[in-house]
Amino acid sequence: MIELTINGTKHKFPEGKTLLECIESTGLKIPTLCYHKALTPYGACRLCLVEISQNNRSTIQASCTYPAIDKLVVNTNTEKVIKTRKIMFELLLARCPDSKVIQQVAEEYGVKETRFEKKNEDCFLCGLCVRMCRERMGISAINFINRGSERKVCPPFDAASDICQTCGACATICPTERIKLEKISKNEAVPIQHEYNEGLIERPAAYIPYPQAVPNKATIDERYCVHMLKDACGVCKEFCEAEAIDYDQKEKEIELNVGAVILSPGFEIFDAKIKEELGYGNHSNVVTSLEFERILSASGPYLGKVLRPSDETEPKRIGFIQCVGSRDVERDYCSSVCCMYATKEAILAKEHVGEDLQCDVFFMDMRAFSKGFDEYYQRAKELGVDYIRCRPASVKEIPETKNLLIEYLAEDDKKVSREYDLVVLSVGLQPPKSAKEISGKFGIELNEFDFCKTSPFKPVESTREGIYVSGPFTEPKDIPETIMQASGASSKVLSLLKDVKGSLIVPEEYPPEIDVEGQEPRIGVFVCHCGTNIAGVVNVPSVVEYAKTLPNVVYADSNLYTCSNDTQELIKEKIKEHKLNRVVVASCTPRTHEPLFRNTVREARLNPYLFEMANIRDQCSWVHMMEPEKASEKSRDLVRMAVAKARLLNPLQKRSVSIIKSALVIGGGLSGLTSATELASQGFDVHLVEKEKELGGNMSRIHYLLSGDNPQDLLKRLVEEVKKSEKIHLYTEAKIENIEGSIGNFKTKISTRKPLPFFETSKGKSEEFEHGVVIVATGAQEYKPKEYLYGQHEGIITQLELEQRLSTNGDKSAAAEKNVPKNIVMIQCVGSRDEERPYCSRICCSEAVKNALKIKELSPETNIYVLFRDVRTYGFRESYYTKAREKNVVFMRYEEDRKPEVSKNGNGLQVEVFDQTLKMPIEISADLVVLSTGIVADEGNEKIAKFLKVPLNKDKFFLEAHMKLRPVDFATDGVYLCGLAHSAKAMDESIIQAQAAASRASTILSKDSVELEANISQVIDESCDGCAYCIEPCFYQAITLIEYMREGVVKKTVEVDETACKGCGVCMATCPKKGIFVRGFRLEQIGAQVNSALEVQ
């Protein structure tokens, strides 16, 4: 070891180091432009100058080349060093005045201009490229030539090299970006396309697949790595301080013994090059929807800026073309997601570029069929997104501008063309390329489109027992349906493997908490860019610098994605390094990310409640998108407030409660029956409550499916299973009188009209039972039409009523046989997609197609007219729509503001509709008018919602915790949702969500206890006088007035049920005596935030 004195402080270092290496290891920063850790030092830029003192003599030396010698005295910032270094910067700026890197580094050290004559060179002869090619690549395809003022870097003889391997290392390492491979090499460079960014940009051979990869670790692509191919380079190993690089690693085969398999291989997107007429692959400004998704992303190729690939300019007109690779002869199915992701991308593009951006969507049918989708579609139109109903014939490029012409036939059969700067192809979903290989390995069957074959009644089961499936591998679907199906598959596995459930679980162990009592607050602030979600509006660096000035803040920095795995590790490191005892994260909403950050803090040995969050995304960058300065100012305010509260945070402890291992299922329809049987098969007791006399709900009125399956067979089997099960306690003709309690400990009171089957003494009286979870499966109702003369003419019926007529023993009823209708008109969207009910009822189009095909099967000569706004036969239902048209079922479109009119015509009926192609009204004589009525929420939902303290949406359907990510959970813990109570859906989808609800419920029931949130109310007995002001306002009925004796006197106070309390703070707001507070939100903590907001002491 040797000893150096650096800036007055003595340090010890191993022998054989340079001064620069020693200085940097102490944390000091010295500028350099020619130094590279993996290369021999060269000393070309002379920026790393330091002053060396030895034997009473001092000299200025380049630290990168000067060896570290024992007893040297080194100074990095003397007046002499600073002055000389600035001269070096000026010389560099004179030689390469346009170099961004030189300008940036020079400005950091106070040099913005040079006094010397500018030469306008683009190379300052640092030699990095030369050394890299010679020392690491072993090629020497580039070198210095000539001498003196003629000296420059180029291939030998100043001619393109034929030995250059076009690895690009020289170009990558060049600080002035002067090196261009096409001028160096005779060989054509083949860039490595960045897969995550859809090939829009390049990537190196050693890379992290994507910003939020799990684990967030680098990988080496052996197909391109120079070391793996030629035993050269190895630079990454030199730089890896963790010593994680192992070039000798090999793939390993791991054998697992499992009791079940869930297949979720995902999907592939359609190769748009197949549609040559649309120009993808030939026209640079024609991109796929997934490529455009990456363009919009903050971590994408242009960092969230909407630019077109050809010239990286901002487009003013974007055209979206739908159904590329879907709904055609080869792929007669709908990809289900394209309409909505095009709508989403159009809205996001307008947000990024501005409202003047023109976005046109070319579509055939707008399939906004899921919960909330139609309203989102309407919002897009209000924002100026234009929807053009057609299927474009071609996309042509204008060579001079690289703009694009979309040619199409309008609805009136006129040829039209429109010019765009960018065209986005909404590509469809295809089965994964490995589908047939998976089919062979696992012995499962695929359907006609090579997706995994399932059945309507077993939608998560493959054709092989014990192998379950989820996601788009079974059928194209959106995120909520994918999550539901994944949870549904998990439920089947839980049933199959119930005897060994939990046997492999290893409880998570945390290190002991640090006792922070008595310590001065040491606060760390972490500000998130969230890509451009925040940083695109908020000046994040200014927020960080401001945070550093706040009292008790000892560390502050910014992160690209604070929620990513690597940043979580960084937070833990900084807590340890800076001895932080409070942490503030300024990022997005606590609703989704607070648990993650609390867990990170706990893993760093801090109590998880010594954490505070400032929501600068929702409350700043999103709501003040057009006011970046004000958004930045408000972000600083929120950080200041969060820090003020963080100073007063105290450690809190969670309490756990035991779990009652039984469930309440409300509703005995298909979803309720499915959930009940799933939980029972997992070994849990279930209380199944149905308000009607018979089980089955709406399912009892459905007699055949599009696939031809008979749902009554499934209903019969489910009912028999429920009645035979010892685990299921069935209550029919039952009314729920009250539900109280919370997760793990609910108590329900019901009343019945008849004796309860398992209470011998019961005679229609009220009964109570306890349970740990609740599944809401209350179903929904068919809309009863008030329009189209329904109820005024026997020839006007609903689709369900038509199905009833067609269903007797699988044929038409005898009455129908005698009088086959000659003309049938079906009217879609009756009671849906209007002002009163703006949502789509999802199944109506499929029901119309189903019944039309049934009629055609029984009476081919019958004329059927379907009057529609959009045909929403999503997924594999599309093929039945095709089949209906092949059987001459006529589909005619009408507009919302020109609905069909039904009138009596003698004994018959007449329907008038405005034809969009002919642009004139058409009259149709009808023997039967069938109304495709919507689905409306059950009338009892409001009462159940009040009992459970769960929300409804404005359409009175139950509102899930998160539309995309938690589609079967409520925000209230321990309560789950499925079936039509959630939203309109098909039978197989109800089964999937019911299985998912059972799976989610079992995650609670399989535990012996559950932890309660610590941020709940606490009574200060000394301050509470029992006034009871807090009891009635408590929405969760968590507070009770009690009396007890204290010092011989009756004392009144209140008591909090910690299992029911949600920490809302209403009690704290109503208390006049400061006798109750919410932990983590004490009055002094809130007061500190208020004072901080007002900037008062």
Nearest in space to 257 (alpha carbons), one of 500, 438, 461: 500
- pLDDT computed for residue 1057 by the predictor: 87
- pLDDT computed for residue 412 by the predictor: 80
- Of 510 and 817, which is predicted with more confidence? 510
Contacts 24+ apart (CB under 8 A), 879-888: 879/332, 879/333, 880/706, 880/846, 880/849, 880/850, 880/853, 881/845, 881/849, 882/332, 883/853, 884/849, 884/852, 884/853, 884/856, 887/852, 887/853, 887/856, 887/860, 888/856
C-alpha to C-alpha distances, 492 to 306, 324, 489, 732, nearest whole angstrom: 44, 35, 5, 27
Phi then psi dihedrals of residue 72, to 5 deg: -70, 145
Q: Give me 764's structure tokens.
A: 């229609």
User: pLDDT digits over 960-984, tens only?
Assistant: 999 999 999 998 889 999 999 999 9
3-state secondary structure of 981: helix
Sign of the alpha-carbon dihedral angle for 682, 685, 687, 688? positive
C-alpha neighbours within 13 Å on the C-beta side of residue 843: 22
Q: What does the DSSP 8-state code read for residue 700? A: G
Q: What does the DSSP 8-state code read for residue 150? A: G
Query: DSSP H helical segments within 729-873, as ranges?
Result: 799-806, 814-818, 844-858
- Of 41 and 1051, which is predicted with more confidence? 41
Arithmetic mean of pLDDT, 649-667: 95
- pLDDT computed for residue 211 by the predictor: 77
Burial 734-745 (b: 16+ CB within 10 A, else e): bebeebbbbbbb
Residue 1012 has pLDDT above 90, yes or no: no
- Show the beta-strand stretches assigned E in 466-531: 467-469, 523-528
Query: Do residues 350 and 343 lie in contact, with contact meaning Cβ atoms separated by under 8 Å?
Result: no
- pLDDT computed for residue 951 by the predictor: 92
- Of 763 and 149, which is predicted with more confidence? 149
- pLDDT computed for residue 155 by the predictor: 93
Arithmetic mean of pLDDT, 550-568: 92
Query: Do residues 676 and 728 lie in contact, with contact meaning Cβ atoms separated by under 8 Å?
Result: yes
Arithmetic mean of pLDDT, 498-516: 90
- pLDDT computed for residue 755 by the predictor: 53
SS3 for 637-680, per residue?
HHHHHHHHHHCCCCCCCCCEEECCCEEEEECCEHHHHHHHHHHH
Nearest in space to 324 (alpha carbons), one of 271, 360, 395: 271
Query: Average pLDDT, whole number, for the chain?
Result: 93
- pLDDT computed for residue 561 by the predictor: 87
- pLDDT computed for residue 197 by the predictor: 93
Phi then psi dihedrals of residue 711, to 5 deg: -65, -20
User: pLDDT digits over 408-431, tens only?
Assistant: 998 888 899 999 999 999 999 999
Q: Which residues contact 256 (CB under 8 A, 6 or more apart)?
A: none
Residue 1038 has pLDDT above 70, yes or no: yes
Residue 841 to residue 848: CA distance in whole angstroms: 13
CA 113 to chain centre: 47
Residue 552 to residue 524: CA distance in whole angstroms: 9
Residue with tokens 């992160």: 559
Residue 866 has pLDDT above 70, yes or no: yes
Arithmetic mean of pLDDT, 197-221: 87
- pLDDT computed for residue 257 by the predictor: 93
3-state secondary structure of 377: helix
Strand partners, 740: 747
% of the chain at pLDDT higher than 70:
98
Residue 43 to residue 268: CA distance in whole angstroms: 52
Strand partners, 536: none
**Helix (H), strand (E) counts: the chain:** 28, 49
- pLDDT computed for residue 1047 by the predictor: 77
- Spatial strand order in the sheet of 734-742: 734-742, 745-752, 766-771
Nearest in space to 425 (alpha carbons), one of 391, 475, 473, 382: 391
Task: Give the helix/strand (H/E) hosting 359.
Answer: strand 358-363
- pLDDT computed for residue 819 by the predictor: 62
- pLDDT computed for residue 216 by the predictor: 73
Query: Do residues 687 and 672 lie in contact, with contact meaning Cβ atoms separated by under 8 Å?
Result: no
Residue 441 has pLDDT above 90, yes or no: yes
- pLDDT computed for residue 212 by the predictor: 75
Domains and CATH numbers, the chain: 2-108 (3.10.20.740), 191-248 (no CATH), 268-429 (3.50.50.60), 435-500 (no CATH), 523-646 (3.40.50), 679-779+938-1008 (3.50.50.60), 782-934 (3.50.50.60), 1017-1078 (3.30.70.20)
% of the chain at pLDDT higher than 90:
84
Phi then psi dihedrals of residue 886, to 5 deg: -65, -30
- pLDDT computed for residue 811 by the predictor: 47
- As a 3-state breakdown, the chain gives helix, strand, coil percent values, each rounded to 5, of 30, 25, 45
Burial 931-964 (b: 16+ CB within 10 A, else e): bbbbbbbbebbeebbebbbbebbebbbbbbbebe
761 confidence band (pLDDT: 50, 70, 90): very low
Q: Give me 561's structure tokens.
A: 């994605």
Q: Which residues contact 1075 (CB under 8 A, 6 or more apart)?
A: 1019, 1020, 1021, 1023, 1024, 1025, 1053, 1054
C-alpha neighbours within 13 Å on the C-beta side of residue 582: 22
Residue 451 to residue 335: CA distance in whole angstroms: 12
C-alpha neighbours within 13 Å on the C-beta side of residue 484: 30
Task: Give the helix/strand (H/E) hosting 268.
Answer: strand 268-269
Q: What does the DSSP 8-state code read for residue 132? A: I
Burial 440-455 (b: 16+ CB within 10 A, else e): eebebebeebebbbbe
812 confidence band (pLDDT: 50, 70, 90): very low
Provide the angle, in degrees to the nearest 10, between the axes of the packed helices 79-95 and 100-108.
160
Arithmetic mean of pLDDT, 195-208: 92
Nearest in space to 267 (alpha carbons), one of 66, 477, 408, 460: 477
Residue 986 to residue 369: CA distance in whole angstroms: 11
Residue 32 has pLDDT above 90, yes or no: yes
- Of 564 and 611, which is predicted with more confidence? 611
Q: CA end-to-end span of the chain, whole Å?
A: 54
User: pLDDT digits over 143-156, tens only?
Assistant: 999 998 889 999 98
